[in-house]
Every structure is written in structure tokens, then in C-alpha cells.
């Protein structure tokens, strides 16, 4: 299609739009109902922040199969909203088990939560098998009226 044809087709059919060259209905688009993402090689990064405060809403084993990090940051601290999600932590184990290589992975929780403690204790053997280390901070940063745990990461 030329740009002119694409422009006319979107004006003549206002309920549809183009996403990656494919007509879609914007009303039906949601994070879970988007088009399937084609398989490709995994992406290797030093540091990855687990999306959405480690919520199970949009992070699953597929994320960990595709985004292979030396360090993953888990920042969830809201049990009422399922953050961090036990399912996402389990997905890390599932995704990492399919890497086919035993690279060291460090998980960095920014909060000490019951979910992460239970997951750590219940899956510790599997973590060791997969070369996953959970980093617990023993350092504290104090700034004005607040203090928080901190860790140093060197690349």
C-alpha cells in the first residue's frame, strides 16, 4: 500500500487502525490480547527491572526466556495488589531453566516481603541448580528523614 492508500483506508474505516501494518480494532486491544510476538533470539542485558513491580499482569516465563539478564530487580511491595507476584518469581525459574546455558543470575529484591522470603525458602534448591543468587542487602542508606536498603552492583 502507498501512504495515500493507507491514509484513505483509515479514514474510510474509523473503527480500525493499523498496528505493524495489520488492521486492528482499537476497542479490542489490551495488553493480553495483542498480536502474538514472533519468536526471535533472546536479548542479553546486564540489568533488567521486572516490569510493573513484579506483578503477574504482564510478566511471565516468556519474559525470562527472551530477556536474559545478569541482574533482575524486583521492586514490588504491595501484597494487596499481588506485588511481588509469586507466579512471576516462579516464571523466572521456568524461563531460566530453558536457557540452555548456566549463566549466573542475581535477583535483587528492593523490599523484604513475605512472598519473596517464602519463595526463596521453598525454591532454594532449584535456585542453586539454575545458578540464581538472591541478593539480600545488609547496607542501609540514610537520607534526611528516610532510610532504605541498598546494594552495590559492579559490571
Give the tens place of pLDDT for each residue, 64-86: 999 999 999 988 777 777 668 89
Domain, as residue range, for 89: 43-149
In a domain, 14, yes or no: no
In a domain, 13, yes or no: no
Grid coordinates belonging to 102:
548456566
Asked if residues 118 and 93 have their Cβ atoms less than 8 Å apart, the reply is no
pTM, rounded to two decimals: 0.68
- Tell me what pLDDT residue 111 has: 83
In a domain, 123, yes or no: yes
Closest C-alpha to 55, from 106, 113, 130: 113
What separation in angstroms does the CA of 132 have from each of 70, 81, 87, 111?
9, 26, 17, 18
In this prediction, residue 151 has a pLDDT band, given cuts at 50, 70 and 90, of confident
In a domain, 55, yes or no: yes
In a domain, 4, yes or no: no
Measured distance CA(148)–CA(134) in Å, rounded: 18
Three-state secondary structure call for residue 81 = helix
What separation in angstroms does the CA of 19 have from each of 34, 40, 113, 136?
10, 19, 39, 42
- The more confident residue out of 39 and 82 is 39
Counting beta carbons within 10 angstroms of the beta carbon of residue 60, is it exposed (0 to 12), middle (13 to 18) or buried (19 or more)? middle
- The more confident residue out of 11 and 118 is 118
Omega within 30 of 0 (cis) for the link into 84: yes
In a domain, 23, yes or no: no
- Tell me what pLDDT residue 88 has: 92
In a domain, 3, yes or no: no
Total tally of structural domains belonging to the chain: 1
Longest dimension (CA), the chain: 62
Closest C-alpha to 55, from 74, 30, 32, 40: 74
In a domain, 88, yes or no: yes
Amino acid at each position: 500500500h502507498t501512504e495515500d492508500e493507507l491514509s484513505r483506508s483509515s479514514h474510510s474505516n474509523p473503527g480500525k487502525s493499523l498496528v505493524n501494518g495489520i488492521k486492528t480494532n482499537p476497542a479490542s486491544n489490551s495488553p493480553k490480547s495483542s498480536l502474538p510476538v514472533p519468536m526471535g533470539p533472546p536479548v542479553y542485558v546486564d540489568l533488567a527491572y521486572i516490569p510493573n513491580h513484579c506483578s503477574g499482569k504482564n510478566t511471565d516465563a516468556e519474559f525470562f526466556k527472551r530477556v536474559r539478564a545478569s541482574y533482575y530487580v524486583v521492586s514490588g511491595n504491595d501484597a494487596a495488589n499481588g506485588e511481588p507476584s509469586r507466579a512471576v518469581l516462579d516464571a523466572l525459574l521456568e524461563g531460566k531453566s530453558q536457557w540452555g546455558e548456566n549463566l549466573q543470575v542475581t535477583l535483587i529484591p528492593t523490599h523484604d516481603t513475605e512472598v519473596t522470603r517464602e519463595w526463596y525458602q521453598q525454591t532454594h534448591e532449584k535456585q542453586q541448580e539454575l545458578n540464581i543468587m538472591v541478593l539480600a542487602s545488609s547496607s542501609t542508606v540514610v537520607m534526611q528523614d528516610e532510610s532504605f536498603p541498598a546494594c552495590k552492583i559492579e559490571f
